[in-house]
Amino acid sequence: MNIAAPICSDTACRVQVDGVCRLGNDPVEGCPHYAIEMDDIEEPAQEQEPPIAQPVPIWSSEALLLENLVALKRQRQVRTIALVGEQKVGKTTLLASIYGAYCKGPFAGLTFVGSETLLAFARLQSFALVSSGRGSPTVPRTSRRDPLSFFHLALARGGGEVLDLAIADRSGETYTAARTSTDLISTLAELRHADRVCFLLDGARLASMDSRTAYTRHFRQMINALNDNGALATAQDVEILSTKFDITSTANLEDKNIEFLDEYQARLVSDFQRKGLAISSHHICALPKADRGVGFVGLDEMVRRWTAPTPPPMVAPQPLRDATRQFDRLLAKA
C-alpha cells in the first residue's frame, strides 16, 4: 500500500483529509504551505550508527626476522649473539634451556623482565616438558627452509638496569654449506650484527672414534673460513662452546675423551690467537639426557659472560708511533 505524499508542510493541517485549510485559506491553494515541492520538505534526521572501532594490532611474539631486529636496535641497546655450528650440534637446545632457566626464576644474577619472542620460546620449550608426553626431552630442529631468526630476552640486574639480548637461530646446514662454499659467507647477516660469535663444538661427535677425525677437521675449517673472509671482524668476542658434555663425560674412555676435548680446544685457542683472533673455549651441557646426574653445565657462566658490563670507551688520545709531527712525538714521550 502506497502512502500519499504530503501536500502541506504544516504537519498539523488536515487539508489532505478533509480539504479544509487549518489557517482558513479559501481556496486552499492560497495557503503558502500548500502544494509544496517534495524537495522542500526536510526529511527527519537519520540516527548515525556508532563508529566501528579500528582493530588493535597485537604483537605476534614470534621469532624476530632481521628487519625486526634492526628496528628493535633503533629503540634499545641490544647485544646480539650468533650461534654457529653444524646440524644437530645443539643450538636450538641451548636457546630453549636459557629460556627454561628464567622460567624458574632469577638466573646468572639476572631477572627475566620481558621478551618480544615469548610464543617462539614457548614453542621451543614445549617439547622438553613432561606435558608433551615424550619419554625424553627434546627440541624442534631448525630447518634450512626456515629464515634467519632471532630470540629476544630482556634481563634486569639488581640495580634495575635492563639488558636486551638477541640470539640468532639459523639451520646448521647453512653453516655447513658456507664452510665448503665461502661465497655464501657474505649472506650470513647475523655475523655482521653480532657482538659475540659462539662456535658450538659437538661433544658427542668428539666422543665417537668413528667421527672424531673428520669432525675436528671440519670444525677448524669453519672458524678458518669465517675468520679469513672477514666475517668475525666486527665481533667483540669469539668463543668455542663444547656442547653435550653429558655424553663426553659418560661415554667409553671417559677420561681420554675429556683429555682429548681439552687438548683440542687449547690448540684451537692457541692457533687462532696467534692469528690475532680473541677467542676462548668453554664446556656446556644444556639438556642432559645421556646422564642426568651431570646436570646443566656452564650455562650460568655463559650467560654471565654474555651479559657482563662493558667497560667505558677510551676517550683519551693515544700516542702515535713514528709520528711525523713534532707535537705527536712529544705526546708519545709523555
Which of 114, 115, 111, 20 shows the shortest CA–CA distance to 62? 115
Name the residue type at position 169. D
For strands 111-114 and 237-243, give the pairing: unpaired
| Rounded distance between C-alpha atoms, residue 69 and residue 60, angstroms | 14
| Rounded distance between C-alpha atoms, residue 115 and residue 164, angstroms | 9
Which residues, in sequence order, are CB contacts of 80 under 8 Å at separation 6+?
Answer: 69, 73, 150, 165, 166, 167, 168, 190, 193, 194, 195, 196
16, 8 contact by CB (below 8 A) = yes
**For residue 291, is pLDDT > 90?**
no
Entry pTM: 0.74
Which residues, in sequence order, are CB contacts of 312 under 8 Å at separation 6+?
Answer: none
Least confident of 170-184, 194-208, 284-298: 284-298
Q: What is the pLDDT of residues 100-154, one digit of tens each?
A: 999 999 999 999 999 999 999 988 877 666 555 556 566 666 777 888 999 999 9
Q: Which domains does the chain have, with CATH numbers?
A: 1-44 (no CATH), 66-306 (3.40.50.300)
